[in-house]
Amino acid sequence: MVNERYTELLRQSFRENAQRAAFTNYEGNTLTYAEVAHQIQHLHDLFRRAGIQPQEHVALIGKNSANWAISYLATITYGCVVVPILPNFIGSDVHHIVNHSSSVWLFAGIQNMEQLDWGSMPGLKGAISLDDFSVIAQRVVLHPEVNTVTLNDVPYIADVSLPANMVLLYTSGTMGFSRGVMLNHLSISGNIQYARTYMPLVPGDRILSFLPLAHAYGCAIEFLYPFTLGCHITFLGKLPTPPVLIKAFGEVRPRLILSVPLIIEKIYKKQLKPVLEKPTMKVLMAIPGINKLIYKKVNKKLSAVFGDNFHEVVIGGAPLNEDVQRFLKKIKFRFTVGYGMTECGPLISYAGWKVNPVNSCGRVVDQLSIKIDSDNPETKVGEILVKGTNVMTGYYRNPEATDEALTSDGWLRTGDLGIIDRKGFLYIKGRSKSMILGANGQNIYPEEIESKINNFPFVSESLVVERRDNLVALVYPDLDWADAHKISEEQINHLMENARLQLNKELPAFMRISGFQLFKTEFEKTPKKSIKRFLYQNS
C-alpha cells in the first residue's frame, strides 16, 4: 500500500546523499545533491516573489538537462503541478498546451522560447530560462528578494495531500485532441516504490537519461526513481542515435538501462546479424557445445555495447521484434520487455529478465489489478483494463474523454488488446485504438495529421497508416476540385509531394509523412460514415 508522497522520498534522499554526485550534463558540469537543493531553494524564492500559489500549474519545456530536472523538482516540492512538454512540439502546440493546462509560469530553454509567441500565451505571468534560471519574460512585478536562500542540504518541501495532483502530462499537443493526464502523488509514489522493490539500485549507481523526460517512462525510471536513492544521473541532452548512445554507455556505464525497441533492433540488425549469417558461423552455430561458446562471446560483445555494468535493459514503448527477442534469450542477454502508458504514470506490467517469457510484457505491478474484457482471458483476446493506485485521476478539463477512459467503478480502459496466461504473464496482441506507436516510443495520433492533410484543397479525405516503420498518408483526392481546375493525375501527384514537404515543416520529426498514396475511390465507411480504418492499416 502506497502511503507516502513522492516528495517525502525526496526529503530523505536530500538528507542522506548531500555530498554525492546527483546530476551531470553529458560532457558538462556535475552537481551534488546539496547543490541541487540550493538551486531548488533559489527557485522557491523566485516562486514566492512571483506570487505563485500551491497547486498552480507550471509548464516546463526543454531538452534533458540538470536544470530541467531541478525545475521539475522545484515545482513539485513547492506544492505546484508540473506540466512537462515535449521539446520537439511546434510552437502552436506548445501555446495550446500552456493555455489548456492553465499554466501560470513557464520554464523554457532559449531555443524553445525563440519559437514561441508570448502574446499567444496570455495566462502566463512569467517565463524562466532553463539555461541560467533568469526571468526572460514577465507580466507581474516580482516582490523584493527575501533572502531566504541558504546552503541547507534539505530544501523546503511543501506538505500536500496524497491525492493532490503532482504532474499534468499531455499525450497530444494539437487543439481538439488534448489529453492532459492528471497524475497525483499516489500514482507517482506507486511507480517509484515498485521500481525500488523490483529494479534495485543503490546510492552512487550511475544512470544515463536519454529518453524524453517529458514522457512518463523516461521521467519515472531514469530520473524520479533513481534520485530517491542517491544515484548519479547523467543527462545526454542530444539526439540518442545508436553511435551517440554507444559512446555514452561506454563512458557512463549505467547500472539500469531503459530502451525502446528501435535501438536494440538496429544494433542486432547492423552489428550482430551480418556476422551470424556468415556461412562459417552458421556451421559453427549448429555444433553443440561450440554454439554455447559463440552465444557467450556474442553476449559479452553486446553487453559491452551497453557499458557492461548493467543489471538489466528494460525495453518499452513499442513491441520488440520476436526474432530479436528469441535470439537475445538464446544468448542469455539481460533484457526484459515491460508495458505501461502515461495514464498509469507509466507502469502496468513488468517481470525480470530471468523469468519473463518471449513476447510477454511481464506481470501486473503490485499497485494495480488487471482484467481482460473477454470470457476466456487465457485464450480469447480482449481489451486490457487496469485499476488501482497508479491510474490517473482523469484528463484535465476533458470530462468526456475521462468518462470514455474510466468506468464508473474506476477501471481504466487501456485501448490495448491482450491475454493473460495461467502464470499471470500478460501478452499484448494489438491495439483497439487508432494510435500508432512510433519507432522511438512516441505516441502518434493519426487524426491530428489527417486533420491537416484534409485542409489541402485537392484532398477529399485521408488516412495516415504505418508502413515498414514509416508513416504514409492514403489520400482520396477531391475529383470535383481537380476537374474544375483541369488538374491531371500527374499534376495531383506533384501537388501531393509539395503538400507533404509543406506538412512536414509543421510536424515534429516523429510525426512526419514519408509519402502519399493516391486512392481512386473513396474509403469504405460505417453506417455512421466513419472510415473503416482497420481495412487499410495493413494493406
Pairing relation of β-strands 335-337 and 312-315?
A: parallel
Residue 388 sits at φ, ψ, to 5 deg, of 145, -165
pLDDT tens digits, 133-179: 999 999 999 988 766 656 677 888 998 888 899 999 998 655 556 68
- Which pTM value belongs to this model? 0.84
6-235 is classed in which CATH architecture? 3-Layer(aba) Sandwich (3.40)
Contact call for residues 385 and 371 (beta carbons, < 8 A): yes
Chain Cα centroid distance, residue 195: 17
Give start-end residues of each CATH 2.30.38.10 domain in the chain: 371-430
Give start-end residues of each CATH 3.40.50.980 domain in the chain: 6-235
pLDDT of the residue at 539: 61
HSE-up (13 A, CA, CB side) for residue 210: 24
pLDDT of the residue at 433: 65
pLDDT of the residue at 175: 53
Residue 138 sits at φ, ψ, to 5 deg, of -160, 150
Cβ neighbors of 15 (< 8 A, separation 6 or more) are: 153, 154
Give start-end residues of each CATH 3.30.300.30 domain in the chain: 445-535
The class level of CATH for 371-430 reads: mainly beta
CA nearest to 299, candidates 275, 334, 267, 265: 334
Residue 444 sits at φ, ψ, to 5 deg, of -120, 120
Contact call for residues 9 and 185 (beta carbons, < 8 A): no
pLDDT of the residue at 274: 81
pLDDT of the residue at 210: 94
CA nearest to 164, candidates 11, 241, 56: 56
Contact call for residues 360 and 427 (beta carbons, < 8 A): yes
Low-confidence ranges of the chain (pLDDT < 70): 1-3, 146-151, 172-178, 431-433, 526-530, 539
pLDDT tens digits, 58-107: 999 999 999 999 999 999 999 999 999 999 888 999 999 999 999 999 99
Residue 28 sits at φ, ψ, to 5 deg, of -145, -150
Which single residue is written with the C-alpha cell 523566485? Answer: 46
Contact call for residues 349 and 426 (beta carbons, < 8 A): yes
pLDDT of the residue at 302: 94
Domain 445-535, classified CATH 3.30.300.30, yes or no? yes
484: number of Cβ within 10 Å: 9
